[in-house]
A = this chain, B = another copy of it.
Amino acid sequence: MTVHEMPHLDSTFSALSDSTRRAIVARLADGEATLSDLAEPFEMSLTAVSKHMRVLSDAGLVDIEKRGRTKHCRLRGAPIKEAVDWLSKYEAFWIDRFDALARHLAKEDSKT
């Protein structure tokens, strides 16, 4: 299994490392929203949210479409899938460790 440089993952993980942006992602999973909609729950300027959207957009996590004077944002699943695919390579690892723990506990249990 070659390492496969995945430059997408840099921006995807980086974008998701901010809780404001994760909240925005969560919000967009419920459907399209405008920038102002997205900004409303946060105690920060619209400019700040706009910058967050830029980060999400650059990472390909979000699609922004200008309609009149509003900008409508949608979640894009592809980069999330790439992230999960990368992380899943190590799923076996922690499953193994949980298995090991389960075996350990079972052994302890059989002693009583």
On whether A77 and B94 interact (CB within 8 A), knowing A9-B22, A10-B19, A22-B9, the answer reads yes
A42 at the B interface (CB under 8 A): no
A75 at the B interface (CB under 8 A): yes
Q: Is chain A's interface secondary structure helix, strand, loop, or mixed overall?
A: helix
> What residue of chain B has the Cβ atom nearest to residue A11's Cβ?
B17
A102 at the B interface (CB under 8 A): no
Name the segment of A43-51, A64-72, A85-93, A104-112 touching the other chain. A85-93
Contact of A94 among B9, B23, B80, B87 (CB under 8 A): B80
| A contact set with B: CB distance below 8 Å | 3, 5-7, 9-14, 16-19, 22-23, 25-26, 29, 75-78, 80-81, 83-84, 86-91, 93-95, 97-98
